[in-house]
Amino acid sequence: MEVKKHTIKLIVHNKPDVLARIAGVFSGRGFNIESISANITREPEVTKIRIVTKGDSSTVTKIQNQLKKLVDVQSVSHVRDSKYGQREMVLMRLKLTDENRDNIMKMIDTCECKIVMKKGDYCVIEATGSVEDIQDLVNRFEPLGIEDLSRSGTVAL
Amino acid sequence: MKLKGAQILLRALANEGVDTIFGYPGGVVLDIYDEIYKSKFKHILVRHEQGAAHAADGYSRASGKVGVCLVTSGPGATNTVTGIVTAYMDSIPMVVFTGQVTTALIGSDAFQEADITGITRPCTKHNFIVRKVEDLARTVKEAMYIARSGRPGPVLVDLPKDVSQSETEYQESGPLKTPSQNPIYIPDLSALNEALQMIKQAKRPVVMIGGGIILGKASEDLKAFIDKVQIPVTHTLMGIGAFPGTHPLSLGMPGMHGTYYANMAITDCDLLLTIGARFDDRVTGKIDGFAPNAKIIHIDIDAASINKNVLVDLPIVSDCKSALQQLNKMLHQNHFTYPEKERKAWFEQINAWKEYAPLSYCLGNTIKPQQVIEELYRLTNGDAIITTEVGQNQMWAAQFYKFDRPNTFLTSGGLGTMGYGFPAAIGAQIAFPEKTVIDIAGDGSIQMNIQELATAVNYNIPVKICILNNGFLGMVRQWQEIFYDKRYSQTIVEQVPDFVKLAEAYGATGLRATKPDELEAVLKKGLSTPGPVIMDIAVEPEEGVYPMVKPGSPISDMDLGR
């Protein structure tokens, strides 16, 4: 069966150890977490978690069935090509030197990134897009000198 | 009126119908023990916390009720972990209360502090740490509910010392707020109908049942179903007793040490109806060779158990009782037919397998372990609760004692815990003081929780321990004989205590048989002596458990040991 990335969405009770329980299902049963994002919802007692994992479709079903057994998990669903899309955000800190400054500014313009902070010798930029867009963006900036970066993981409706 | 946390705990437990606790006191549970002192609770003081967990487990398996134990923080809590995993692997409802250091000290590496909720997260169905006394009553109710509902399992509740000391108004807890725990009880009717059509058409059907029948209290429904459809039944280790072992349609156990005819029937069948079993690797052998010609129907309460190890043709998520009751109703309403000629040929084939390789052994100049089990079966008229340790003793007990009732064979199937049988027997005997309870043990495994002999003597719990003493760690020795060219590395138990004297030192009765002609008298005397008894039976040292399927082989590929 085809191995590919899948996004699983969980609605859980907002308890201190709920993330540890979920992570434990993955580690204990030999599944893999590619990325994870967790946020509050409009109800303070409820948290929404999205996990991107890799596997064939039967593995993803097995993961979902195991997650559903957790007492603090209210619902588990497999986010299939959502019509709202799956988005990710990235923050990158770039070193500015006399040699690369112009190239970086040009790239920022072309890629429609936003500068969130700029000092004499570095700047921090922000971008959102599909997972593929963000990967593409990181690949483009890589030769120009990324000092640090942070990706949010997938956010989906 | 305001009550202390310790009082609230006991009141909440009493409200859940709990009257028996297996436990061991310590610093942070002093307040709870002070309330137990003043209460009517029956508290059994074990001699090691692992014993408390196994005893609560045995109590649960024998009675069908939730077993409860109470221990202190740190080492008290960690000592229960093997017992918790044992219960988890076999889906046994149990609630373990552990003391914890005061909430203000949590995380400071305080004396006797252990992160027991962190440690047991992967091996409990759920666990709690109660941080406010106001949450205590509701947490107890939730823990008991989670333990027994759906696919049962152990739940741990961690109780910081200040929570049991502080006071609050006691309030009866309202309805539970755990919607995710509402198990699916109503089976899909169209799927059951499809199952029935498959059963009607099958020429060579087999039913395989597991522990789910016992946990779901569905034995009577199963028997009614089988009497109607007339299909041979094989039971997993956990399913022993769910269907009468003496029933003409019983094939015994399948798998690694299963019967020749159960394994052949599974291999050759065209329909395998599996109810309340989870296709453990010890049952399936090599997956590709498991029921290769069959359509498989799987009825199980746990959706995660379906299509986990074996891909099935018709999955039905339901508790065993609801599904069987519905099937019985459908059978009652419809005319049931099946291909009679082919079914007749199928039974003839099964009978031929039974005749070719029945469970057997040869009598000799030494006592044979299988002979001990058969003798126990005869002397107890098959009406005892049997617990086992793990290894050869467990397999011979499973093969040679015939169980006709559920909740009478208590064994650590999933985890395979040596040291389980004796404390579990104590728990079972507490649940059924009048019944004969026998722990079938080996000389290795009995030493893993031998300290509980003091508990048995203390409360005059008349458990009978039958040690199949072969001077070896027998099952590992058997593997070394077959796969490691008889290099018996560390399996010869050179220093075995004198079990008769050991029993006497604890204040119990010790008996010994070394020759076949002594066996019957010793067992008779042991079973009729009041109080706890050890029967030390010297058996043939290098006897093996057969049939045996080598790991990685299909179950049709058996060594019959002859």
pLDDT at A83 exceeding the cut of 70: no
Q: Where are the domains of chain A?
A: 4-79, 86-156
Yes or no: domain B2-180 corresponds to CATH 3.40.50.970: yes
Catalytic residues of B, by residue number, are: 49, 111-112, 161, 475
Residue B142: closest CA among chain A residues belongs to which residue? A71
Q: Where are the domains of chain B?
A: 2-180, 189-356, 369-546
Burial class (CB in 10 A: 0-12, 13-18, 19+), B381: exposed
Q: Which residues of B touch A70 (CB under 8 A)?
A: 126, 180
Q: Which residues of B touch A58 (CB under 8 A)?
A: 307
CA distance B298 to B315: 5
Cβ–Cβ gap B307/A58 under 8 Å: yes
pLDDT score, position A33: 93
Distance from CA of A72 to the nearest CA of B (A): 7
Distance from CA of A65 to the nearest CA of B (A): 5
Nearest Cα to Cα of residue B216 among B91, B307, B310, B127: B91
Neighbouring C-beta atoms of residue B410, cutoff 10 Å: 29
Residue B146: closest CA among chain A residues belongs to which residue? A71
What HEC string does B384-432 produce? CEEEECCCHHHHHHHHHCCCCCCCCEECCCCCCCCCCHHHHHHHHHHHC
Select the residue of A65, A71, A73 nearest B304 (Cβ to Cβ): A65
CA distance B315 to B326: 16
Distance from CA of A99 to the nearest CA of B (A): 51
Domain covering A4-79: architecture: 2-Layer Sandwich (3.30)
pLDDT at A145 exceeding the cut of 90: no
Select the residue of A28, A65, A71 nearest B178 (Cβ to Cβ): A71
Q: Which CATH superfamily is domain B369-546 in?
A: Thiamin diphosphate (ThDP)-binding fold, Pyr/PP domains (3.40.50.970)
Cβ–Cβ gap B303/A70 under 8 Å: no
Helix (H, G, I), strand (E, B) or coil at A30: coil
Give me the CATH code for the A86-156 domain, please.
Answer: 3.30.70.1150
Q: Which residues of B touch A61 (CB under 8 A)?
A: 307
Q: Which residues of B touch A21 (CB under 8 A)?
A: 121
Distance from CA of A44 to the nearest CA of B (A): 16
Percentage of residues of chain A with pLDDT beyond 90:
49
List of chain B residues with pLDDT < 70 = 174-175, 177-184
pLDDT score, position B117: 97
pLDDT score, position A99: 86
Average pLDDT of the residues in A35-55: 90
The residue type found at B169 is E
CA distance B9 to B141: 10
Cβ–Cβ gap B117/A71 under 8 Å: no
Distance from CA of A85 to the nearest CA of B (A): 28
pLDDT score, position B182: 58
Element (H, E) at B519: helix B516-528
Select the residue of B146, B151, B302 nearest A71 (Cβ to Cβ): B146
Residue B5: phi, psi to the nearest 5? -50, -40
The partner residues of B469 in beta bridges, in order of sequence, read: B538
Beta strand B295-300 pairing with B314-317 = parallel
Cβ–Cβ gap A65/B122 under 8 Å: no
Select the residue of B122, B179, B302 nearest A24 (Cβ to Cβ): B122
Give the model's confidence band at A82: pLDDT under 50 very low, under 70 low, under 90 confident, else very high. low
User: What letter does residue B499 receive in the DSSP assignment?
Assistant: H
Element (H, E) at B75: helix B75-78
| DSSP string across B194-257 | HHHHHHHH-SSEEEEE-HHHHHTT-HHHHHHHHHHH---EEE-GGGBTTB-TTSTTB----STT
Residues of B near A (Cβ–Cβ under 8 Å) read 117-118, 121-122, 125-126, 146, 151, 178-181, 302-304, 306-308
Q: Do domains A4-79 and A86-156 have the same CATH topology?
A: yes
Asked whether the ipTM of the predicted complex exceeds the cut of 0.90, the reply is no
Q: B127, B144, B180, B287: best mutation site toward chain A, by most A Cβ within 10 Å?
A: B180
Please give the mean pLDDT across all residues of chain A: 89
Average pLDDT of the residues in A58-77: 92
Cβ–Cβ gap B302/A69 under 8 Å: yes
pLDDT score, position A70: 94
pLDDT score, position B549: 97
Between the ranges A42-56, A96-110, B97-111, where is the mean pLDDT highest? B97-111
CA distance B153 to B91: 4
Sign of the CA dihedral with B145 first, then B148, B153, and B154 last: positive
Cβ–Cβ gap A74/B146 under 8 Å: no
Place of tokens 């309030």: B171
Any B CB within 8 A of A61 CB: yes
- CATH fold group of domain B189-356: Rossmann fold (3.40.50)
Average pLDDT of the residues in A81-91: 79
Residue A74: closest CA among chain B residues belongs to which residue? B180
Cβ–Cβ gap A71/B122 under 8 Å: no
Any B CB within 8 A of A74 CB: yes
Distance from CA of B53 to the nearest CA of A (A): 22
The residue type found at B135 is D
Burial class (CB in 10 A: 0-12, 13-18, 19+), B58: buried
Give the model's confidence band at A130: pLDDT under 50 very low, under 70 low, under 90 confident, else very high. confident
* Contact residues, A window 89-128, toward B, CB-based 8 Å cutoff: none
At what angle are helices A101-111 and A131-145 packed, to 10 degrees?
Answer: 170
